Amino acid sequence: MALAEGPCYTIINSPDIEVPNEMQLKQDLEKGDTNVKIETLKKVIQMLLNGERLSGLIMTIIRFVLPVQNHQIKKLLLIFWEIVPKTSADGKLLQEMILVCDAYRKDLQHPNEFLRGSTLRFLCKLKEPELLEPLMPAIRACLEHRHSYVRRNAVLAIFTIYKNFDWLVPDGPELIANFLETQQDMSCKRNAFLMLLHADQERALNYLASCIDQVNNFGDILQLVIVELIYKVCHANPTERSRFIRCIYNLLNSSSNAVRYEAAGTLITLSSAPTAIRAAASCYIELIVGDSDNNVKLIVLDRLIAMKENENMEKVMQDLVMDILRVLAAPDIEVRRKTLALAMDLVSSRNIEEMVLVLKKEVSKTHNVEHEDTGKYRQLLVRTLHSCSIKFPDVAANVIPVLVEFLSDTNELAAADVLIFIREAIQKFPSLRALIIERLIEAFPQIKSSKIHRAAVWILGEYVDNKEQILEVTEAIIQTLGEIPMVEAEQKRLAGEQSDDGEKPTGEGNIKVAGNKVTSDGTYATQSAFSLAPVAKKEKRPPLRQYLMDGDFFIGAALSATLTKLALRYAELEDDVRQQNRLTTQVMLIMSSILHLGKSGFPTKPITNDDIDRIFICLRTLSERTKEAVEVFQHYCRDALGKMLDAQHEEDQRIMKEKQRAAAKVQPDDPVAFAQLSNGRDNQLGENVFETSLNQALAGTKSTNLSDITSPNNKLNKVTQLTGFSDPVYAEAYVNVNQYDIVLDVLIVNQTNDTLQNCTLELATLGDLKLVERPHPVVLAPHDFCNIKANVKVSSTENGIIFGNIVYDTSINTNVVVLNTIHIDIMDYIIPASCTDTEFRQMWQDFEWENKVTVNTTFTDLHEYLKHLLKSTNMKCLTPEKALSGQCGFMAANMYAKSIFGENALANLSIEKPVDDPDSKVTGHIRIRAKSQGMALSLGDKISSSQKQSVQAA
């Protein structure tokens, strides 16, 4: 099998330049001065990287450029010799390379340490043992050089040579072990220890055992290698754990954050003891609190969240909730969101009271703080306190007074979340109703938002159940409405404004003479102008009155319903008929006053017909008192709220069960893998052993079912065939989509009896994709195969296309095989997500790009079409299952997803079909909204293509 990837260490960005001919290049290299030679050498390097074979220039460069002592030329030559083909067509080393080898032997003995060090680094990249063998004595001599730069690069050179061609330096581990004993420089010790770690672990362990007490004083680069060694040794031989686990504990206190992070991860994999888990979790928390980089905070938080998924670790971490809450000091909203979610999952009855105290302090800190994320953070705190109260009802009494203060907040979202909590708490905890109502009445006059007032009015009307509180609520409503009747009060206000404008009212067409004016030459002049209509001063009205004057009569209708409930309940509680009638007439006067104001022309918008009907129903109910209407006002509203809360609770329970079901569990008949008995071949696929075992320690072993193999996320289903089976070169690609890049793993098979020279994969892209580097050419023997990897950078959530061809040389001519196009699917970037109805509406209002897709399908069932749409778009349906159940011939549903780039995608489905015709097809449309045009268009294209596929299949 051919090499999977050619040795490539240097990537140079080459702009589009004119390709000079070989004769011109030779002339510049022979006769040009130093600067000309530098520029020419750069051109030669760029041409070689672009696939040109300039074999005729090698001797010219050896004769005229190699002897030059200019440092920049020396650096360019190192790159040149790294990338230039060093073998002839038959695979034998070129004769000219012997001269190059001699030149580099001299450079290894050069008095300048920079030249020696850079030459040693270059030798690490050579893959030809014939070139390296004559240089071995000079490389060994560099181990004793006075400068650490030369010594550490000499160690690296010996390490790579031993790894690739151990027969060139058979005593390598012994040589480096002796070198390590005498070294004081930390970088030299690190490189030497790294070689022993990979080449001779026994010697590395002996060295570590000899200086294990001084590990804390080592530099961080050496400590990292020591952590890696301990991990590998303990992973391969668990009996060594007791010998080295104390060292890992000590490294948790290292001065380097990187060392502490790696040591904590290693400790979890080596030990499941509570003390080890607590020490690792505490170390992670200290890293988050101490590091200012948000990316570091998020990465380490993810580690803590992964630890929490393990049941044994979760029990230990429950005691660290208060330490985790220290992370809230970070200003980033995403860090705070993850921290609160983690703390909420870990909190128990032992520490819930302390957690509530911390959250109360955080709430007080957000007052009078002007920051773009303060509103979101307050909302997060409200939701967390809400969850605490529902999960642990004992703390609800402490939480409610804090949250009620939010009702007067200018941030409507936080106040709305408070009311959602209060509505749930007052229904679920009857013992707290008196406290909630008392606090709500106190906060009622300070509320600043129409929506919040409306919800507060509803809660008060539904749950106030004694005479004194009914009168108190009615009085509070009248105070926030202002003087009744309202139309007369507004007329008086207007009359008062006009009388204030001047004692002498003037007509509209009257001319008002101003005082004398002085002109530029000193003479007097009079100025007159038509008097304009007086500008009305913005008078401060009571809140409810202001809403009505602004044309928001929905609050008037809600107010009427609440007052009707209060009057009906008061009539049941109060025996005195006069008192009953007094309250009822007061309430009816308020309602009729709202109706009169709505039609008077004073408000900016008149009252709507719906609101008029609602208020009239309330007036009629109070005057006639029919049994059915009274029943609706007194019982049905509360019953509806109870059913809604029960449905929400059931949905939450269902989601929790699904999460538990999704957790990886070991099945009874699953094979047990013993790491001690493994043959070491299990990790040849390139996975990181450390990551694998850490994930197993955190989440258990995931079982592979038949459904996993057939699922669309399986690796086999992402293989794209690029050429036909009858083509001389067969190719297929596995497309691996990461967060910001796509890795194409292309398998190329030579199906001919000829050797293919310079077999090159040439790729190009369409859309927001960019090829990072050009794949390296390979040589394929007859019926041989190889894997070539290409990286493509992704910058946004859009569909993209990768196309190209394979070019190869045979003994006769050059051939090209055109490849099938690879379509990068937007579904690889999109993941289902959830948000509240309020957030969905806000985003729907904010996003400017909309794409409307007409439904064209063979489906005859509305629910089946919705399932098909969710599966093909990877979105989540936000509309509850109960709201979608039943058959009425119409369906409306909201869907939501997020991309891995953090972009949001919203969709609204509106479909219908005649109920009386079961064979009729579903019709309607889907509206997609997104912040970017590409997201909206790509998602629309995906829906259209999935519809076409279903139609063609039918």
DSSP 779-800: EE-TT-EEEEEEEEEE-SS--E
pLDDT at 507: 42
Least confident of 386-395, 507-516, 644-653: 507-516
For 18, what's the count of Cα atoms within 13 Å in the CB-facing half-sphere?
4
As a whole number, mean pLDDT of residues 390-394 equals 82
> How does residue 630 score in pLDDT terms, banded at 50, 70 and 90?
confident
pLDDT at 14: 55
Task: Tell me if 254 sits within 8 A of 220, measured CB to CB.
Answer: yes
Burial class (CB in 10 A: 0-12, 13-18, 19+), 709: exposed
> How does residue 731 score in pLDDT terms, banded at 50, 70 and 90?
very high
Report d(CA 808, CA 789) in Å as an integer: 17
- The pair of structure tokens assigned to 944 is 């259209």
Report d(CA 161, CA 125) in Å as an integer: 9
pLDDT at 710: 44
As a whole number, mean pLDDT of residues 664-688 equals 51
Above 80 in pLDDT, residue 130? yes
pLDDT tens digits, one per residue of 140-165: 888 888 888 888 889 888 888 888 88
Task: Tell me if 785 sits within 8 A of 1, measured CB to CB.
Answer: yes
Residue with the two structure tokens 């030669």: 44
Above 60 in pLDDT, residue 812? yes
Report d(CA 859, CA 111) in Å as an integer: 81
Report d(CA 933, CA 53) in Å as an integer: 45
For 599, what's the count of Cα atoms within 13 Å in the CB-facing half-sphere?
8
pLDDT at 936: 85
Q: What is the DSSP letter of 673?
A: P
The Cβ of residue 926 has, within 10 Å, a number of other Cβ atoms equal to 23
As a whole number, mean pLDDT of residues 220-235 equals 80
Residue 694, phi-psi category: left (phi > 0), alpha (psi -120 to 50), beta (remainder):
alpha
Report d(CA 322, CA 354) in Å as an integer: 8
pLDDT at 830: 81
Report d(CA 827, CA 822) in Å as an integer: 14
pLDDT at 4: 37
pLDDT at 947: 81
pLDDT at 659: 63
Above 80 in pLDDT, residue 1? no
Query: DSSP string of 61-89?
Result: HHHHTTT---HHHHHHHHHHHHHS--B-T
> How does residue 479 score in pLDDT terms, banded at 50, 70 and 90?
confident
The Cβ of residue 511 has, within 10 Å, a number of other Cβ atoms equal to 10
pLDDT at 927: 92
Per DSSP, which regions of 212-318 are E strands? none
As a whole number, mean pLDDT of residues 341-359 equals 86
* 29 or 532, higher pLDDT: 29
> How does residue 730 score in pLDDT terms, banded at 50, 70 and 90?
very high
Residue 686, phi-psi category: left (phi > 0), alpha (psi -120 to 50), beta (remainder):
left
pLDDT at 67: 83
- The pair of structure tokens assigned to 431 is 């013992």
Average pLDDT, rounded, for the chain? 78
The Cβ of residue 519 has, within 10 Å, a number of other Cβ atoms equal to 8
The Cβ of residue 316 has, within 10 Å, a number of other Cβ atoms equal to 19
pLDDT tens digits, one per residue of 568-605: 888 888 778 888 888 888 888 888 888 888 888 788 88
pLDDT at 188: 85
Above 50 in pLDDT, residue 510? no
Above 50 in pLDDT, residue 504? no
pLDDT at 411: 65
Q: Is the omega angle on the peptide bond into residue 603 within 30 degrees of 0, that is, cis?
A: no
Q: What percent of the chain has pLDDT over 70?
A: 85
pLDDT tens digits, one per residue of 294-307: 888 888 888 888 88
**Amino acid present at 541:** R
The distance in angstroms from the start CA to the end CA of the chain is 46
Torsion sign across C-alpha atoms 410, 414, 416, 419: negative
> How does residue 524 score in pLDDT terms, banded at 50, 70 and 90?
low
Torsion sign across C-alpha atoms 116, 120, 121, 127: positive
pLDDT at 5: 43
pLDDT at 501: 46
Residues for the chain: how many in total? 954
> How does residue 16 score in pLDDT terms, banded at 50, 70 and 90?
low
Report d(CA 572, CA 889) in Å as an integer: 43
Strand 511-513 relative to strand 528-530, pairing: antiparallel
Give pTM, 2 decimals: 0.66
pLDDT at 907: 92
As a whole number, mean pLDDT of residues 738-755 equals 83
pLDDT at 702: 38
Per-residue three-class SS string for 95-147? CCHHHHHHHHHHHCCCCCHHHHHHHHHHHCCCCCHHHHHHHHHHHHHHCCCCC
Per-residue three-class SS string for 513-540? ECCCEECCCCCEECCEEECCCCCCCCCC
Residue 91, phi-psi category: left (phi > 0), alpha (psi -120 to 50), beta (remainder):
left
* 503 or 286, higher pLDDT: 286
Above 80 in pLDDT, residue 686? no
Name, in order, each residue with C-beta under 8 angstroms of 393's C-beta and a sequence gap of 6 or more.
Answer: 428, 429
pLDDT tens digits, one per residue of 859-903: 888 888 888 888 888 888 888 877 777 777 788 999 998 887 778
pLDDT at 669: 63
pLDDT at 534: 44
- The pair of structure tokens assigned to 663 is 């957790």
pLDDT tens digits, one per residue of 829-853: 788 888 888 788 888 988 888 888 8
Per DSSP, which regions of 173-227 are E strands? none
Above 60 in pLDDT, residue 522? no
pLDDT at 754: 85
pLDDT at 332: 84
pLDDT at 512: 42
Above 70 in pLDDT, residue 323? yes
Burial class (CB in 10 A: 0-12, 13-18, 19+), 623: exposed
- The pair of structure tokens assigned to 194 is 């790294």
